[in-house]
Each structure stands twice: as structure tokens, then as C-alpha cells.
Amino acid sequence: MDATARDLIVLEPVIHNNIWGGRRLASEFGYAIPDGPVGECWAISAHPHGDCTVKEGPGCGQTLSELWESRRDLFGDAEGDRFPLLVKIIDAEADVSIQVHPDDDYAKAHEDDPSGKRECWYILDAAPGTTVILGQRAKSADEFRSLMERGAWDELLNEIPLHAGDFFQIDPGTVHAVKAGTMLLETQQSSDITYRLYDYDRRDANGNLRELHVEKSLDVIDFSMEPPEKGLEADEELARAIEPTGATSLAGAESAAGVVCLERNEDYTVSLVQVLGLLTLPMDDPFWCVSVVEGEGSIAGRRVRKGEHLIVPGYVDSVRIEGTMRLVISHI
Ligand code: ZN
């Protein structure tokens, strides 16, 4: 059966203040945000540090973690103690700290947490000339430590160009940092474990430096990884993938759509979808996390616009999508 609006799990985001954040989560995405710098909208999350509430659909009024516990049938009877994905919108008005995340094994052994943090970014906006730090050049912890102690960050870190429409996959053990002027959608494992290597010697409102985690960082950095030269040009790939669907939209014009799989790994699959008219997608996965990153239209008959996020349960056979919009869809 086709999904209906009643099948959709629509979530209330959780907003986080961050010293490197800005105000664009309100001005460009319409979220209600508190005063001060705001860096992160946790749009689809059941993590204890930001557990979204269902505002429409099955389990309305429950948190996503409660829904995951009580209605596993909505999620293809997937296993695990925690809803496995976390989708965020990030507004970095200032540079984000240089960081690295552990994998599952390290998180279990050292943090008593079931999940490491594999993540990926679809870039929503970036000022001209923006760069990103992705990967590093030391071949061992000793070499890394000596370059770090000399403050030779430029020599150590791999800094590459970043544009709106790019996509970056960041495996655990990859040193990385978003720079000022970047907005992105992040799809990640449901984890909040970050090891900070360097925070530009910034002080918070109380004059304190943020804690660094150099030893754990050196434990988890993958020194065999070759630093990349650029991201995936996702929007260009999407433009090449757009084809007429043969269906007719309400406006009478023939519709078109493009779907590009950006990443598939053991933790998640992430696709970028352009809708121009009417598109019916078959559902063959335990569930979908859907984020509208551009435009507006309808999903299963429910009106949606840029900045909205929802979960489609796995029991439906297909989903009718209509409008002029770009979606990021992820699943396990
Ligand atoms: Zn990260």
C-alpha cells in the first residue's frame, strides 16, 4: 500500500547552543531557537543528549527513543538498543574544533557506549572560498604529537575546498573540522562522542577553554588513511541523474526526478533525491529518515517544506512524493 499522511512519524527537533554557532537555523530554516549562538538542530534523534518528540503520527507525544522501544514494527523490527541514526542541520558561523570520533569497538571499550560515530555531510551552503579540514598527514602518533607540539597545524592537517552541493563521508578515525560559513546536513550513527584535538584556543562565555582529548584522539586516528583531495560533487551527479518519470504532475507538465546514492556502508545508506512533479518511490528498507533540504511539496499527501524532517515506517510499500524539492533520505 501507498503510505498515507497518518503513517508518517513527524518529529520536533532538539536545538543545541554551540559557541561556534550562528542564527541561520532560524533565519533560513525557520526553527524556533534560543538566544545566542546556535550550531545544531538535531532533527531526527533518539540520542539521550537530544531525544526528539513525535509531534504527528504513530506514537504522537512520545520521544523517538520510547517509540523505538515500544513499536519496533515501525522500524522493520530492526535490532539494537538505540535508534541507530541521527540527522542534524549544522550552522557553523565560526570554525568548529578540530576533532575525531571513535568506532564502535573503541566506544564500547572506553566510553561504555554502544555506538561509535561514522558521519557524512551534504553541504547546504558555504561562503565562497570556504574550506574544510579532512584527514591529516602524520604516519604515526609520535609524528602527530611532535607536529602538534610545534603548533604546525598547517603541515599536519589536510585542508581542501568545500562548496554547496558537495558530499563528504567521514569514517571514524578521520581528523576533521567544519570551517566558518558552512551549513550542512549531517547523517551519522547515533553517537555524541567527540574527541577534540584543538579548539583554536577559544574561550567560552566564562573565560574557560574547552576540554581537549589528545590521548584518546591519538588512540583512534587512522594513520594509514590517505587524506582526500576533494569531496563528491553530489549536486552535479544529481543533475546528471534527472530523468522524466513519465508521470504527469497536477500542473499538467511531465514530471522528472533524480536519485543519487551518496554513500552506502555498514551503518547507513544516504541518498539525494530531486523531485520535479510526481515521484513514487518503492519502500524496501526498515524505515527512512527524510529531510527536506530545498523547496516544498507533499510526502504521502502531507504538505512539507524546507527544514522539515520525518520518518517513513518500513511497513508501507511505496511513498508518493510531489512538488519541487530536494530531499536527503537515509536508512540502515
Ligand atoms: Zn564530527
Any idea what the CATH number is for the domain that residue 104 is in?
2.60.120.10
**How far, in Å, is the centroid of ligand 1 from the Cα of 119?**
7
Q: What pTM was estimated for this model as a whole?
A: 0.95
**Residue 312: all three cell numbers together:** 517513513
**How far, in Å, is the centroid of ligand 1 from the Cα of 281?**
31
What does the pLDDT read at residue 309? 98
Tell whether the model's pLDDT for residue 286 goes beyond 90: yes
**How far, in Å, is the centroid of ligand 1 from the Cα of 38?**
17
**How far, in Å, is the centroid of ligand 1 from the Cα of 20?**
14
**How far, in Å, is the centroid of ligand 1 from the Cα of 316?**
33
**How far, in Å, is the centroid of ligand 1 from the Cα of 199?**
13
**How far, in Å, is the centroid of ligand 1 from the Cα of 146?**
24
- Cβ atoms of 119 and 47 within 8 Å: the answer is no
Whether residues 219 and 249 share a domain: the answer is: no
Rounded Cα–Cα distance for residues 330 and 141 (Å)? 34
What does the pLDDT read at residue 257? 86
**How far, in Å, is the centroid of ligand 1 from the Cα of 230?**
17
What's the domain count of the chain? Answer: 2
Query: 3-state SS of 165-199?
Result: CEEEEECCCCCEEECCCEEEEEEEECCCCCEEEEC
Whether residues 81 and 119 share a domain: the answer is: yes
Rounded Cα–Cα distance for residues 260 and 51 (Å)? 29
Whether residues 142 and 100 share a domain: the answer is: yes
Tell whether the model's pLDDT for residue 154 goes beyond 70: yes
**How far, in Å, is the centroid of ligand 1 from the Cα of 56?**
30
What does the pLDDT read at residue 88? 98
Among 211, 208, 209, 186, which Cα is nearest to 197's? 211
What does the pLDDT read at residue 211? 86
Residues in Cβ contact with 221 at an 8 Å cutoff, skipping those fewer than 6 apart? 100, 136, 141, 144, 173, 175
Rounded Cα–Cα distance for residues 100 and 220 (Å)? 8
Tell whether the model's pLDDT for residue 209 goes beyond 90: no
Whether residues 105 and 156 share a domain: the answer is: yes
Residues in Cβ contact with 146 at an 8 Å cutoff, skipping those fewer than 6 apart? none
**How far, in Å, is the centroid of ligand 1 from the Cα of 155?**
21
Average pLDDT, the chain: 94
Rounded Cα–Cα distance for residues 328 and 85 (Å)? 13
Rounded Cα–Cα distance for residues 320 and 326 (Å)? 14
Whether residues 103 and 177 share a domain: the answer is: yes
Say how many C-beta atoms besides its own lie within 10 A of residue 99's C-beta. Answer: 21
What does the pLDDT read at residue 264? 96
**Residue 29: all three cell numbers together:** 530554516
Rounded Cα–Cα distance for residues 293 and 124 (Å)? 8
What does the pLDDT read at residue 252? 57
What does the pLDDT read at residue 250? 58
Q: pLDDT grade, residue 322 (50/70/90)?
A: very high
Whether residues 219 and 238 share a domain: the answer is: no
**How far, in Å, is the centroid of ligand 1 from the Cα of 194?**
7
Whether residues 165 and 131 share a domain: the answer is: yes
What does the pLDDT read at residue 2? 93
Whether 137 is catalytic is: no
Domain span holding position 175: 5-232
**Percentage of residues of the chain with pLDDT beyond 90:** 89
What does the pLDDT read at residue 142? 96
Whether residues 171 and 282 share a domain: the answer is: no
Whether residues 262 and 223 share a domain: the answer is: no
**How far, in Å, is the centroid of ligand 1 from the Cα of 179?**
12
Say how many C-beta atoms besides its own lie within 10 A of residue 196's C-beta. Answer: 18
Whether residues 198 and 321 share a domain: the answer is: no
Q: Give the pLDDT confidence of 24-79 residue by residue, as tens digits.
A: 999 999 999 999 999 999 999 999 999 999 999 999 999 999 999 999 999 999 99
Query: Of the residues 24, 82, 118, 196, which is catalytic?
Result: 196
What does the pLDDT read at residue 248? 63
Residues in Cβ contact with 103 at an 8 Å cutoff, skipping those fewer than 6 apart? 116, 118, 172, 173, 220
Among 13, 20, 102, 8, which Cα is nearest to 50's? 13
Whether residues 167 and 242 share a domain: the answer is: no
Interval 201-229 mean pLDDT: 90
Q: Give the pLDDT confidence of 107-146 residue by residue, as tens digits.
A: 999 999 999 999 999 999 999 999 999 999 999 999 999 9
